[in-house]
Structure 1
Amino acid sequence: MAGNLTGKIFTFPVESDTAHVVLVPLPTQIKTLTAVTVCLRFFSDQTRAQSLFSFATPAHSNAFLLYKRVDSLYEINVYDNVVVFRAMEDIPNQWNSVCATWDSNTGIAQLWVNGKPSARKGVRRGFTISGEPSIILGQEQDSYGGTFDKTQCFEGMLTDVHMWNSVLSYPELALYMNQIPQAHDGNVINWKSLDFTTKGYVLVEDQVSGTVV
């Protein structure tokens, strides 16, 4: 399927090792990545760990992974090297806005949760992400395109998923956090022009007005 998902959400209503959404990147932007920004909003009552965004290549199941641990801990995983961000507070049963960035040139990765920036941490400086991507919402890929574990699955709702092949500036990230229209939407994954396939028990629903902050 393809289309503008403005005002829509993906709902993952049960814990499973099958339900997921496959995202197809825009065709001209994915040859090699030397920088990444991923932004999304999620709503969940889960306190366990869960995958928010899983980007794999044939050589690396964790080419770029955004993963929520427990107790306000998040991780960014680049080519199986993990940096952990602490005290990044999200709120259960409320929409939370999250952006993750990484720059190969400096190795710097950073996280934003509900407008609050993390410390800046180094990972995989000088590396590039290359290879045919497998981009999945709802599950964490332990192999290219599969090997899912339901204890790592996402359970809840996701919306406004965007990915760029650059690091957004602080003003641009603030626009996303505050839901102010940006000069450009994601040029790798664009919620307003999304090519996707749902697998298993996943629903595409209307977002309830006034619930996203």
Structure 2
Amino acid sequence: MQAAKNALRWRLLLLSCLLLESSSQDFGGQTQFICTSVPKNMDICAATLQNSVPGDDVKTTVMQLRETVLQQKETIMNQKETIRELTSKLARCESQSEPGDARPGGRRKDAGSKNTMGDVSRGPADTLTQLSQTLQSLKQRLENLEQFSRSNNSVQANSLKDLLQSKIDDLEKQVLSRVNSIEEGKPGLRNETEQRGRVESTLTSLHQRITDLEKGQRENRPLDKFQLTFPLRTNYMYAKVKKSLPEMYALTVCMWLKSNASPGVGTPFSYAVPGQANELVLIEWGNNPMEILINDKVAKLPFLINDGKWHHICVTWTTRDGVWEAFQDGVKRGSGENLAPYHPIKPQGLLILGQEQDMLGGGFDATQAFVGDLANFHIWDRKLSVGEIYNLATCSSKAQVGNVFAWMETSLDIYGGASKWTFEACRQLN
């Protein structure tokens, strides 16, 4: 029995020596270990640690490794926290960069959301598309003038046409340059607002010169035989009536309209006075029906006109009880009361065709702009009878013109590329 115990002790001692030798090899073999005998009653492990210096080194190394592992664990935890924080910030940024939901129903929008060259939701590419379409419209007018000049042998018209064609070519180069700037992300885009203003100014100048050239076409036509065309939904095409409206306790507004714009044809006209931008407005905006506003009070009108055909519409109103009536193509379609009762239409305002004013003479919003054709716009300071309105809609010889505002080319100033064309309502109906 004693012999077996001694043999086990020697085997354990030999195993300890082998383990220590292996440790010495791991550390580059710079140390050596010697197996020695130990007293009978002494613990082998204790004796090994006591008599072997490398054992202390191993213990120290293990402690250092343990400390290193703890430090790395702490570092990993910190990095995980940083990753979570960055992921959260990224998610917030992505949610803010996504397009917002459509603005809920309603007529007016905050003035701070205004765009300078089109729909508030549109980017530079859409703006450039609008400019290109405007240029195409001007080109079409030049082609018409070219045909006119050929038929009339007008040398002056030809020279002006060539000059305007050169101007349009320059504008097309500017549009192309802006496209390239957008694609390449050039720093020059910081001056986009200034450049956009120059382009708008050039377009207005081009329109004026083309209008002067078109005078040769209208020398033989009456001044009321014309239409205004607003081909694009922008916030810079409009016509301004040169004189203000008087104070009115009743009124009738009539006009010819043609549009296929959707959703909503926009704002055929708006009249603003100091302190009230919505003194008198006709608007069809978004998915809402057409509305007449007086002193910012609203009545919904039963008009359906965005089918691309000419329609004659009239709205009558009296301040007493705010009674109103709506006529389309000579037929009464609706009526009501309590529309701004006992509120007279105020004088000293500004009448704009094609845009809705959020402030006196400005604050135009492209989403509320009129798109289409407008003609024979008249205003009376009284309520027309059913027969008088029918005569207007059927081009009767008994039809009257507005005593407050009558449709005449000399009564309007046009801006932003809106154009004038010859128009005769009776001929369009036949």
Q: What's the TM-score, normalizing by structure 2?
A: 0.45
More helix by proportion, 1 or 2?
2
Contact 2:240 2:413 in 1 (8 A): yes
Taking a change above 3 Å as real, the CA distance of residues 31 and 42 of structure 1, as seen in their structure-2 partners, is closer
- The amino acid that maps onto 2:329 is N
Taking a change above 3 Å as real, the CA distance of residues 77 and 206 of structure 1, as seen in their structure-2 partners, is same
What RMSD over aligned residues (CA atoms) do the two structures have, in Å? Answer: 2.3
- The amino acid that maps onto 2:394 is N
- The amino acid that maps onto 2:417 is Y
**What is the aligned partner in structure 2 of residue 130 from structure 1?**
346
**What is the aligned partner in structure 2 of residue 107 from structure 1?**
322
Do structure 1's residue 205 and structure 2's residue 421 form an aligned pair?
A: yes
Residue 340 of structure 2 aligns to a residue whose secondary structure is coil
Q: Shift of residue 11 of structure 1?
A: 1.0
Contact 2:285 2:368 in 1 (8 A): no
Do structure 1's residue 98 and structure 2's residue 313 form an aligned pair?
A: yes
- The amino acid that maps onto 2:310 is W
Contact 2:314 2:327 in 1 (8 A): yes
Match of 2:389 among 154, 157, 173: 173
- The amino acid that maps onto 1:54 is S
CA distance in 1, matches of 2:347, 2:304: 34
Contact 2:355 2:369 in 1 (8 A): yes
Match of 2:278 among 62, 68, 73: 62
Q: Shift of residue 198 of structure 1?
A: 0.4
Residue 129 of structure 1 aligns to a residue whose secondary structure is coil
Q: Shift of residue 71 of structure 1?
A: 6.8
Do structure 1's residue 158 and structure 2's residue 158 form an aligned pair?
A: no
**What is the aligned partner in structure 1 of residue 236 from structure 2?**
18
More strand by proportion, 1 or 2?
1
Taking a change above 3 Å as real, the CA distance of residues 147 and 4 of structure 1, as seen in their structure-2 partners, is farther
- The amino acid that maps onto 2:278 is N
Contact 2:239 2:352 in 1 (8 A): yes
Q: Shift of residue 91 of structure 1?
A: 4.9
Q: Shift of residue 60 of structure 1?
A: 1.1
Q: Shift of residue 159 of structure 1?
A: 0.5
1:169-190, Cα deviation, whole Å (9 max, x unpaired): 1111111111113463101110
CA distance in 2, matches of 1:211, 1:104: 35
CA distance in 2, matches of 1:167, 1:71: 30
CA distance in 2, matches of 1:62, 1:148: 13
**What is the aligned partner in structure 1 of residue 119 from structure 2?**
none
**What is the aligned partner in structure 1 of residue 335 from structure 2?**
120
Q: Shift of residue 118 of structure 1?
A: 2.8
Q: Shift of residue 35 of structure 1?
A: 0.9
Match of 1:7 among 187, 207, 225: 225
Taking a change above 3 Å as real, the CA distance of residues 120 and 194 of structure 1, as seen in their structure-2 partners, is farther
- The amino acid that maps onto 1:51 is T
Q: What's the TM-score, normalizing by structure 1?
A: 0.88
Deviating more after overlay: 109-118 vs 143-152 = 109-118
Contact 1:56 1:133 in 2 (8 A): yes
- Specify the structure having the higher radius of gyration (Cα): 2
Q: Shift of residue 113 of structure 1?
A: 1.4
Residue 382 of structure 2 aligns to a residue whose secondary structure is coil
- Identify the structure with bigger relative contact order (alpha carbons < 8 Å, sequence gap 6+): 1
1:49-88, Cα deviation, whole Å (9 max, x unpaired): 21112111112111111123467922110000001123x3
Work out the percentage of aligned pairs sharing the same amino acid: 25
1:145-193, Cα deviation, whole Å (9 max, x unpaired): 1100111111111111100111111111111111113463101110147
1:120-142, Cα deviation, whole Å (9 max, x unpaired): 21211111111312001110111
Q: Which runs of 5+ in 1 are unaligned?
A: none
Matched residues, number: 208
**What is the aligned partner in structure 2 of residue 47 from structure 1?**
262
Contact 2:257 2:374 in 1 (8 A): yes
**What is the aligned partner in structure 1 of residue 406 from structure 2?**
190
Q: Shift of residue 44 of structure 1?
A: 1.2
Taking a change above 3 Å as real, the CA distance of residues 67 and 157 of structure 1, as seen in their structure-2 partners, is same
Contact 1:4 1:194 in 2 (8 A): no
- The amino acid that maps onto 2:370 is F
Taking a change above 3 Å as real, the CA distance of residues 59 and 131 of structure 1, as seen in their structure-2 partners, is farther
CA distance in 1, matches of 2:410, 2:333: 29
Q: Shift of residue 95 of structure 1?
A: 0.4
Q: Which runs of 5+ in 2 are unaligned?
A: 1-210, 212-220
Residue 327 of structure 2 aligns to a residue whose secondary structure is strand
Deviating more after overlay: 64-73 vs 51-60 = 64-73
